Structure 1
Amino acid sequence: MNAKMKKAFRNPAFCIEKNMTYNSGKNTLKIIAAFIVGIIALLMGICLGSVNIQLTDTFSIIMAKLSGSAVKESVDPSLISILWEIRIPRALCAFFVGGAIAVSGAVIQSILQNPLASSYTLGVSSGACLGAAIVIITGIGGAFLGYFLLPAVGFGCGLLTVLLVILVATGLDSGFKNHTIILFGMIFSLFVNAIMTMLSALNKSHMQRLILWQLGTFSGRRFAHVAVIFVCLIIGMILIMLFHRELDILSFGDEEAQAVGVDNKRTKIILLILASFLTGVSVCFTGVIGFVDLTIPHIVRRIYGSAHKVVVPMSLILGGAFMTICDLLARTLMAPQEIPIGAITAFVGAPFFLWVYYKRRT
């Protein structure tokens, strides 16, 4: 028995890690390609729209704003306002939200070993929508939070829903099995959606705003929103990457994870809260946006393999690029009217997800 076989015999996690990362050296060019795609998507989201802005003018405006110098006289002053106050914050917000939702989906699919699992399955988006609906209908406000009141309440309610799911699931199933989490998540989600439907029906004056919130939009996003989402995304990514080995092992099943010494219950709860944190922050700023967390992780795994030290960051990049392109389509296909971003992601994501799933089976 050679050294590698002896090490594998003593530590089954060694076998899992080698299996998950065997082709990682071949992914370098693919990783570079993903970064290029992300940059191109961001530039398209910034430059294209009802008013197209040339790439040279875009770089000139950005450099002038960052350095504090004056913009060239050849640049139309109206383009400066469009680019810096509307396009850039909106594109960055779309990119960060898309990345956060995709990472959340990749984490939840791995720990629950279910290709259709997502934060929406656990009721995060439903809880956030209910909190936002209460703020919209009651008209409550706060001087301290200002326009962050709606996102704060939405995020708090989304996280509370997940904590309730975890509390009930652990109370009824001490083993914290995957099917138990999914079942109670779906029950809570359906229950909260029923409350949302009732509130919408009883408050017709707010129905249009509630529907728009449920379909998602990046309209009106500013640098303040971008800063908050970016900070939350970085914190969530760092904490999730600390668990990339546990994610690899949990992908093989609860029994295998326990065999190599992983505390399944504790690890699942931590990762579920982190994934819900990313989704909650995203939903509370932009509304509910579906299919990104289902589709992008599958695409990433087909391209880059199953090692989560690659899957998680690549889900961030490709999820952000996908959301930025979808937002571009949402505001340009029927300009000047804007299509809700949730409708675009569903139109694009649903057929593509079916194609990916069919290819996987064949």
Structure 2
Amino acid sequence: MNLKTNKKKCIISIFILIFIIYIGTSIGSSNISMLDTISIIANKTFGITLRDGVLPKDVSIIWKIRLPRVLLAFLVGGCLATSGAVVQSILKNQLASPYTLGVSSGASLGAGLVIITGITIPVIGSFTLPFVGFIFGLFTVYLVILFSSKIDKTMSNNTIILAGMVFSLFVNALLTTLTAMFSEDLKRIALWQMGSFAMKGWTYVGLIIPFCLVGMIGTLMYTKEMDILTFGEEQAQSVGVDTSKVKTKLFIFSAVLTGGAVSLSGTIGFVDLIAPHVVRKIFGSNHKYVIPMSFVFGGCLMVVTDLIARSVFAPTELPVGAVTALIGAPFFAYVYFKKAS
């Protein structure tokens, strides 16, 4: 695609992002005008007063509840979408996702163990659940990569996919067994797995930022290698790319992004499938654009779905994972059948 055209599209995407964040922050059970929202954020961020007479109640709603929730949704969606773009590029399959590697299964098992046992790590306290979820998710991916490299030194795509499926099924079976044994905790585990951004303030935003930075910086370092890998592993090796090493590093960065997102929000599917697909349609296959714009589009999609989840049946809130599934399942079917035809 034309370089200037893509740059223009990037600028337009940034404006759309800002607009969606403002919409997500303004709309809710207590509708607050866009001008008041902008004034509150400007005052809190830069100390600028743009509008007098803003109610203290509205300030608390915007600054303490909605803005951190919207930013967390954006960062989680961005992490999942970027991770999806990486996995799809490596495995050369637009229907692949980071969950293929067992991240969500591992994180769910870790979260389930914390919910069932009620264990609390002294230093981190209430953040024991996301911490343990992240560690279990990352460890599951490590096992998948280790197992794949042991049985297939070239780490072919089919081997990785099959290993990921085997470990995911095994870990899910362990979680199912635990929930059957401790049925009184079934509802809490199920609600966590469905995903939610409710009652999560600035602390959660601060917690996910390191995962975003590590995962994004690490992934952006290998955009050229991902471009080369799209032509096939033999061609990549012929120009000096150590495919096994590059794949392993990219899978680890992908696991950091997904593990961080899943551990803080629960399992939310389909964003990692939809956003990269849309980005490739708009910006082409150059990963210099695909990776950052997947983050932007995935973040925007998550903010919109979270807005739908908390607005459609207000004051009752739907699980975000259910909304993304309702949108994503038809999209998944469309991509699959269009590819097959």
TM-score normalized with structure 1 length = 0.91
- The one-letter amino acid of 1:325's match is V
Once the two structures are TM-superposed, the CA of residue 107 in structure 1 deviates from its matched residue by 0.3
Q: What is the CA distance between 1:162 and its match in structure 2?
A: 0.4
* TM-aligned CA deviation for residue 68 of structure 1: 5.1
Match of 1:121, SS state, is helix
- 1:318 corresponds to which residue? 297
- Structure 2 counterpart SS, 1:218: coil
**Which string of whole-angstrom CA distances, capped at 9 and with x for unpartnered residues, describes residues 260-297 of structure 1?**
11001000000000001100000000000000111111
Q: Which residue of 2 aligns with 1:59?
A: 38
Match of 1:161 in 2: 140
Code of the residue aligned with 2:95 in structure 1: it is L
Residue of 25, 30, 48 corresponding to 1:46: 25
CA-CA distance at 1:342 after TM superposition: 0.4
- Cα gap change, 1:180 to 1:360, in 2 (>3 Å): closer
Partner of 1:115: 94
1:193 maps to 2:172: yes
Please report how far the alpha carbon of residue 352 of structure 1 lies from its aligned counterpart in structure 2 after TM superposition.
2.5
- How big is the shift at 1:239? 1.3
1:24 aligned onto 2:31:
no
Contact 1:104–1:275 (8 Å) recurs in 2: yes
Q: CA deviation at 1:70?
A: 7.9
2:283–2:290 contact (8 Å) kept in structure 1: yes
Kindly indicate whether residue 77 of structure 2 is the aligned counterpart of residue 95 of structure 1.
no
**Residues in 1 aligned to 2:149 and 2:217: alpha-carbon distance in whole angstroms:** 27
Match for residue 235 of structure 2?
A: 256
Task: State the AA in 1 paired with 2:33.
Answer: Q
Amino acid at match of 2:79: A
Structure 2 contact 23–34 (Cα < 8 Å) conserved:
no
CA 1:26/1:196 → structure 2, altered by over 3 Å: closer, same or farther? same
Partner residue of 2:163 out of 184, 195, 220: 184
Contact 1:23 1:305 in 2 (8 A): no
Q: How far apart are residue 203 of structure 1 and its match?
A: 1.5
Whether the aligned pair in 2 keeps the contact of 1:299 and 1:356 (CA below 8 Å) is no
Q: Provide, for residues 137-195 of structure 1, a one-character-per-residue CA deviation record: whole Å limited to 9, x for no partner.
A: 10011231122211110000000000001111111111111100000000100111111
**Cα distance 1:360–1:40, how it changes in 2: closer, same or farther (>3 A)?**
farther
Q: Residue 138 in 1 paired to residue 117 in 2?
A: yes
Pick from 195, 202, 205 the counterpart of residue 223 of structure 1: 202
> Which AA in structure 1 matches 2:315?
P
Q: Counterpart in 1 of 2:320?
A: 341
3-state SS of 2:247 partner: helix
Larger C-alpha radius of gyration, 1 or 2? 1
C-alpha RMSD of matched pairs (Å): 1.6
Contact residue 111 and residue 250 of structure 1 kept, 8 A: yes
Cα distance in structure 2, aligned partners of 1:147 and 1:252 = 46
Matching of residue 106 in structure 1 with residue 97 in structure 2: no
Instruction: Supply the distance in 2 between the matched residues of 1:354 and 1:36 (Cα, whole angstroms).
Output: 30
Deviations 1:242-267 (A, max 9, x none): 10000001112111111111001000
Deviation at 1:359, TM superposition (A): 5.2
Is this contact kept in 1: 2:129–2:263, CA < 8 A?
yes
User: In structure 2, what residue type is equivalent to 1:191?
Assistant: F
1:24 Cα deviation (Å)?
Answer: 2.9
The alpha carbon displacement at 1:69 in A equals 7.4
One-letter identity of the residue aligned with 2:269:
G
Q: Deviations over 1:294-346 (max 9, x none)?
A: 11111110110000000000000000000000000000111111110000001
| Paired position in structure 2 for 1:6 | none
Q: Report Cα offsets for 1:22-66 as digits up to 9, x if no partner.
A: 533321221122112211211111000111111111122112222
- Distance in 2 of aligned mates of 1:137 and 1:361: 43
Q: Which residue of structure 2 lines up, in the alignment, with residue 173 of structure 1?
A: 152
What is the aligned length? 341
TM-score, length basis structure 2: 0.96
Alignment correspondent of 2:211: 232
Looking at structure 1, the residues matched to 23 and 314 of structure 2 have their Cα atoms a distance apart, in angstroms, of 16
Counterparts of 1:28 and 1:180, CA distance in 2: 38
Identity within the alignment, %: 50
Quote the Cα distance in structure 2 between the aligned partners of 1:87 and 1:208: 26
What's the secondary structure of 1:85's corresponding residue? helix
